[in-house]
């Protein structure tokens, strides 16, 4: 999971792995071999030794740059895994390919080896707490797997503004994304309801902007609120730690600083960024606020400073500016905005959003990064090299690719995981729905309307989790899983090699895969529906011997 391009059984005896286990790897694969040693030692209790190439070993790691071409892959990450003749050999087109091959190896081992400590019976007659080390070998049937990713951008998005998520969950999410061979974590760090990244030059962004006095209860339309302050933020070192952790797993972290709309938290901290100059509070309701940034030179300089500090934290090649849902009410009344429109020849104030993006783009480019934005940036004139995320359906992606932009497909109807799984009162409160696993599995990242000569403009796709109705990591896992498993196969597996996707063929594999998620401690939603502990309404557990509901 996800399905490999090719998997075939080989003749011969099973390969037995036992501790102490020896892994051979060149120095260039130090990151991958160290990671393998950590996870195997944790789950098995074995000692794992990493030795130099050509030393006799149980597991051999190596690279072969020609493997990508041989696998017919256009992007990095191809690998070959061969279990035969007493050895497990993992060959990748580079470090990423080796890492993905090792993730496949983990799925060939018993589920219990995915745990963070060995779960072996206490030795007979021993004192409580002592456990015996595994002495029996793990046997893997001879097999050859050849595999490669379909798309370069295989992303997971997390909104930490509406509800702040602890740093520990970011680590867990990166691990789970990497386990499914996903390679981008998109962090939505700022919005109306909270600013979550430390900016040293402007400390009030977190002193004030990271906290709100209350949050909605129930659906936004009910206009009910709790009485609990909510907030939190990540220090620069917190985020550097997340970036380093992700890099070890070949995951790139993309920061999003939303502008020029969705900025109420920033204006609450620094009222001079807004239009009235008067203090406002950090957003306490969901939805779109009319408050947007003013277009004064001082505001542009302010966000240049923000961009520079954020870019120092995140070394990846992308910087997301948001750019969605930007009302123009305040710009229509602004003398400065009207002057810019007159000077630029704009007849529609929505063009000011493109003007703002053009002022921010040089700061992003100065760090060697590409600007990314939601598909609204097309309406205002997106910068030439911008990457467009198509969220309002497929049309934005078709338009962007036709105009020569690179595209990441993120359409809400398929890939917004804050939507419910089903129209069922037992499902937890969600913003919309339903989006069942089967629908996610059927998603094609390349829309039919994209011209043949622009299809390579689709970098890939990404699943989104907005957190208005997702307050905890446990609930986030429920919303992600098992839909993320279906999404992973949609963006990794090569349909030309594996044949047309068939959910009836996928579902039994997914059902089996859920045992792996259980071993990893994931609060996933069962395929038959939420457990009593996950349900919003009481549902009696099934009678003994009855199938689960």
Within 10 A of 59 (CB to CB), how many other CB atoms are there? Answer: 23
Catalytic one of 64, 175, 305, 325: 325
Residue from 157, 163, 188, 262 carrying the catalytic annotation:
262
Residue 249 · residue 99 · CB < 8 Å? yes
CA distance 403 to 356: 20
Q: Is 226 in the active site?
A: no
What tokens does 428 get?
A: 């937890």
* Helical (H) or strand (E) element with 144: strand 143-147
Residue 290 · residue 315 · CB < 8 Å: no
CA distance 35 to 42: 11
Let me know if 325 is a catalytic residue.
yes
Is 32 within 8 Å of 25 (Cβ atoms)? Answer: yes
For 65, the token pair is 């740059």
How many Å apart are CA 462 and CA 391, to the nearest integer?
10
* Residues 165 and 134: beta-carbon distance below 8 Å: no
Q: Is 153 exposed, middle or buried (0-12, 13-18, 19+ CB in 10 A)?
A: buried
Active-site annotation holder among 191, 192, 427, 468: 191
Instruction: Say which DSSP state 63 is in.
Output: E
Instruction: Please give the Cα distance from 231 to 164 (Å, whole number).
Output: 6
Whether residue 262 lies in the annotated active site = yes
- The token duo for 245 is 């952790």
| Backbone CA torsion sign across 526, 182, 176, 535 | negative
What token pair was written down for 51? 């030795």
> DSSP string covering 372-434, please?
EEEGGGGTT---TT-EEEE-SSSHHHHHHHHTT-EEEE--HHHHBTTS-SSS-TTSPP-SS--
- 265 in Cβ contact with 328 (< 8 Å): no
Q: Is the peptide bond before 20 cis (omega within 30 degrees of 0)?
A: yes
Query: What distance separates the 2 farthest-apart alpha carbons in the chain?
Result: 87
- Candidates 488, 390, 497; CA nearest to 176 is 488
Q: Token pair of 197, please?
A: 């990244």
Return the active site residues. Answer: 191, 262, 325
């Amino acid at each position: 999971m996800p399905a490999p391009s090719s998997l075939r059984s080989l003749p011969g005896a099973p390969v037995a792995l036992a501790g102490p286990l020896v892994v051979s790897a060149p120095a260039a694969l130090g990151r991958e071999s160290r990671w393998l040693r950590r996870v195997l030692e944790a789950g098995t209790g074995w000692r794992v030794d990493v030795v130099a190439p050509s030393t006799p070993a149980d597991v051999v790691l190596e690279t072969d740059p020609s493997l990508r071409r041989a696998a017919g892959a256009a992007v990095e990450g191809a690998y070959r895994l061969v279990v035969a003749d007493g050895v497990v050999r993992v060959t990748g087109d580079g470090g990423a390919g080796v890492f993905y091959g090792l993730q496949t190896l983990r799925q060939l081992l018993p589920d219990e080896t995915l745990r963070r400590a060995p779960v072996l019976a206490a030795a007979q007659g021993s004192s409580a707490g002592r456990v015996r080390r595994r002495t029996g070998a793990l046997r893997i049937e001879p097999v050859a797997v050849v595999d490669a990713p379909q798309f370069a951008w295989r992303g997971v998005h997390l909104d930490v503004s509406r509800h702040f998520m602890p740093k520990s969950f970011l680590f867990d999410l990166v691990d789970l994304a990497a386990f499914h061979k996903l390679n981008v974590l998109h962090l939505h760090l700022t919005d109306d309801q909270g600013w979550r990244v430390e900016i040293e030059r402007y400390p009030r962004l977190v002193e004030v902007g990271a906290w709100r006095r209350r949050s909605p209860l129930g659906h936004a339309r009910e206009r009910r609120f709790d009485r609990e302050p909510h907030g939190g933020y990540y220090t620069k070192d917190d985020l550097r730690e997340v970036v380093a952790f992700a890099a070890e797993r070949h995951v790139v972290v993309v920061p999003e600083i939303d502008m020029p709309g969705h900025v109420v938290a920033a204006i609450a901290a620094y009222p001079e960024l807004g239009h009235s100059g008067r203090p406002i509070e950090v957003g306490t309701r969901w939805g779109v606020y009319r408050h947007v940034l003013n277009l004064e030179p001082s505001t542009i300089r302010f966000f240049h400073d923000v961009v520079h500090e954020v870019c120092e934290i995140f070394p990846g090649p992308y910087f997301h500016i948001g750019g969605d849902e930007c009302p123009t009410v305040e710009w229509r009344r602004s003398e400065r905005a009207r002057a810019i429109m007159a000077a630029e020849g704009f007849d529609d104030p929505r063009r000011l959003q493109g003007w703002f993006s053009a002022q921010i783009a040089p700061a992003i480019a100065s760090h060697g990064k590409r600007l990314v934005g939601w598909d609204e940036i097309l309406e205002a004139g997106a910068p030439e090299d911008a990457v467009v995320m198509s969220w309002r359906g497929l049309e934005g992606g078709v338009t962007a690719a036709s105009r020569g932009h690179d595209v990441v497909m993120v359409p809400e109807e398929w890939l917004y995981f804050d939507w419910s799984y089903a129209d069922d009162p037992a499902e937890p409160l969600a913003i919309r729905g339903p989006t069942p696993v089967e629908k996610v599995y059927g998603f094609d990242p390349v829309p039919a309307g994209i011209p043949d000569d622009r299809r390579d403009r689709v970098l890939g796709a990404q699943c989104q989790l907005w957190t208005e109705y997702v307050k905890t990591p446990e609930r986030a896992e429920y919303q992600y899983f098992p839909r993320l498993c279906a999404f992973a196969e949609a963006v990794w597996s090569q349909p030309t090699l594996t044949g047309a996707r068939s959910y009836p063929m996928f579902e039994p594999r997914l059902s089996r895969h859920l045992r792996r998620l259980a071993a990893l401690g994931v609060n996933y939603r069962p395929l038959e529906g939420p457990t009593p502990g996950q349900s919003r309404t009481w549902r009696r557990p099934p009678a003994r011997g009855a199938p689960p509901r």
